[in-house]
Structure 1
Amino acid sequence: MKTAAIYTRVSSDQQKDKKTIGSQVDELLHFAQEQGYLVPEEYIFRDEGYSGAILVRPGLERVRDLSAEGQIQAVLIYSPDRLSRNYAYQVVLMDEFASCGTEVLFINSPKADTPEEALLLQFQGMIAEYERAIIKERSRRGKRFKAKSGVVSVLCGAPYGYNYIKKTDDTSAYYEINEQEASVVREMFRMYTEDFCGIGTVARKFTSEKIPTRKNIGKWERSVIWAMLRNPAYCGKACYGKTEHAERQRITKPLRAQGGFVAQSGCNREKPREEWIEIAVPAIISQETFDIAQERLKNNKLHSQRNTKVETLLQGMMVCSECGYSLYRTHTTTSAKKKIYYYRCFGSDAYRFEGVRKCNCKPIRQDYLDNIVWQQLVALLEEPKLIQREVEKRVEETKKASPVIKQKEIIVKQRTKLLQSMDKLLDAYQEGLITIVQLRKRMPDLQKRINTIDKELESLKNHELALDQRLQLLDAESFTSQLGLNVKQLDIKEKKKILRLLVKEVVVGDDIIDIKHSIPLKEAKNEKNSKSYQLCTRSNISVTK
């Protein structure tokens, strides 16, 4: 029995919500059974919410890979427009499947003209479109294959902190750490992750110290710092295929000023992280430092001052237990012209979802909820031993799972391979396989790379010592004792800082407020199960830790 794959696609979110893709799968499975094809469950691919005008789709990419590997003998598709709405793309895909010996079967071919007739009607334009499409697609697929093979040349240069070494007859292209620039990168991440400096502060410091940029421009822009902080190459994972071209879906303020029209209707958008192709490069910082930077970037985006008109304690930390949407701050005005502020769930606003509410969560008084959460946090801070025990536990885990150790192992292996390469060159020279000129040409490059690795090892040792020193300074008892004396004098900004250190999120429901802490609270049980009538009328609200 022949093996086949099923490919289905819907382009709009409305089709996705109505589950029209399920009907395609049912008919294709019935057709496969009639024709005698075996379709494994993992060979059913669904591209939900992808336009037929684009060629790069996750499900279609997997089908093409299976065809190229010879894993399938046929591809079953509901209709040609499900494969692509661009005729040139259809021809490219059909030719590719045919060259791999894979048959393409449509169960509901359109009643319009055949592809041959359409080609005759628009002969010149279609041929030109086909040529452009096939050249573009071959180039993209070739780059994708090279990226999967770990070839650095597909990345089009090296970021700040690296030198791009072009390929030669003997070696492929690779990244080499530029120590002068790498020290700037390490300082940037240290300021952002350890000193908690803002992006603007980092940019102003580098500009005032006249540190040269890659283009030797005196001023460091915030966008450059932001992009560098998000670049995974600095932790040893340069990525290919991070963005894709898509249709513009948002009409921004500059576009509205132009009447909502722009000549270039497309835009670049970031692809999901799991679709990026990682290429190993020398690391400048540890994976732990990079993860901390990403977490801080995420939190800063959520709690950004530009998104805040009035400071609130729980801004960006509340989640609806019913629908999963966040809560925002709104108000109502009484007859005495007094404003009463509430937290309201986004999912309860029908106008945001085409007239259909996602949940029935009731608004909650801001002052009541802020006070309850803060009082629970103050009660937690009165138990410093619990916090100190958790700190000591995390210190031990940090030492055991330190990325510095793993990074040292990788670098030591790289150094061993380079030393083996040098030994092989010397053996080849002694046996007369290479000349002294060839030996002198290749040996300095290897020695230079070994020297660079030795500097990285020395840097990792210093980082490891600095980490041990920082961990020894952690003392929860002194922090909580000082905080207890000034807890009533804290302003809203200081309270928010403490809250974000100890609380992950606050889940709000109709009858419960669940405060999810950053540390386990097995000893802090809510024995009294105290009730609160303040959050909404005619109901009892229990507050849990």
Structure 2
Amino acid sequence: MKTAIYVRVSTSRQAQAQTIEQQLHRLRTHMQEQGEDIVSDTIFRDDGYSGATLNRPGLDRLRDAVRAGAVGRVLVTDPDRLARNYVQLMVLLEELEHHGCQVEFLDRPMGRDPQDQLLLQIRGAVAEYERTLIAERMRRGRQMKLRAGCLLPWTRAPYGYRLDPDRPRDPVGVTVDPAEAAVIREVFARFIEDHSSLFSLAKYLRALGISSPTGRPHWSPTTLRGILTNPSYTGQVFAGRWRSRPPRSRRSATHPIGRPSDSSIPTPAEQWMPVANIPALISEEQFKQARDKLDQNQAFARRHNTRHEYLLRALVSCGVCQSGCVCRTVHPGYNYYVCRGKGDVITSRRETSCSARYAPAQQLDDLVWKDLCALLTAPEQIAQALSRAHGGGWLPQELQARREQLRKGQCGLEQQMERLTDAYLLGVIPLPEYQRRRQVADERMQGLRTQAEQLDAQAGRHMKLAGWAASAADFCQRMQSGLADADFARRRQLVELLIDRIVVTGCEVEIRYVIPLSPDGERGRFCHLRKDYFDDVAVPV
């Protein structure tokens, strides 16, 4: 029975303080006392991940290894390292035990005795209570410091200011960067007096060779809007200007999902909390004039033009540069889907214009709608696709991304080993040092190979799609009625539900369909049902 150990710390500061190494030392010592040795590929760790969520890469790899039968025993220091949420802890324990894995806690070994199970449940509830209590105390402490004016609400200074490196959260240590402050004053002056737009400001700053706050040569309109709406430049720092909410859509349907992140939305100005005063770069009157002009420009923005109907609005992507396509009407009756990469350098973020052609909107709309109707009236195509998936032709996007990351990691490690060998042959490093580093690299490579094998086993389980074809056929039968006489609203509703993305590459059109396989999947768009994108609620598909 192969034994694995799991360790976790909540913050990067704890990871730097070596508290995770203390957990590893205790677990290694315990295994050595039992006469067992631990290898690197059986250590699963999460540095800087909260125990309140199950979205942790180390924990995911551990669960995959248990499902694949590669691990039969898991050793953890205490239950709150595994999860700080009582329900999640019980779910994890039940899942691991269901696959024949035994979970042991170092602080107090737990058996199958009812008293031990009761004590484990109590410890899980206490851990959840402690986490909630600590989070509330920290929130209240930050709030009191903000009200007292001794704590800044941001850890990164706005463009034009510098923080004291020894006291980065102290308002007294905020100073003005003369060069960046001159850029801020110029931005406000040109926007107010010269009636410039955000795009023209971005082009102007790029022409001057001024780098953006992130060091890039391109200034985005979003960055400039953030500067023009930041009241800190008037000398008053506010807290609570934004609040977070769960994401409502995917970043891009043609790119890997990535880690979920919340969206920020502004709060009303009357709810802002004044914190401290810092050196002012502009006057209150300039800031008000800039806000008024932004509001006026937003009211007349082209994106509010809904005179024309586009069936595939926000669903078309360019197959050449993977950018999204916008809708454009050149003349009445001449409607197109145009790649964003064909715009100027500020809009496209590309040095060269995309070579893709304009896609005629009416022809593309008719083509996609005809194909969608054919799919709904011939559900055997869906059954064939499910059959191919059962044979390995399809894998979840998250699993594909993890496989690709492992492949890149193996390639990078092989390059490191080649450079290490070259350094030894050239006499840069002695033989003992080369052998030590090569052993470490070999262990890491073996760990990556083990992870790849576990992912292959997980991919095999994802291929169990039997029974879905019947559900898809039932859905298609219910959707067939009214297709011929459907108006634009009905067509748009079906397109949003059943199409994830349309990729146009020259004369080729790729339609990525999404067929609901349960009644719950018919209630929302595909991007709202992605379990690997949204961390808060797992909606069945």
The answer to whether the superposition gives a TM-score over 0.5 is no
TM-score by length of 1: 0.32
Q: Whose relative contact order is higher, 1 or 2, with alpha carbons under 8 Å and at least 6 apart? A: 2
Q: In terms of Rg, which structure is larger?
A: 1
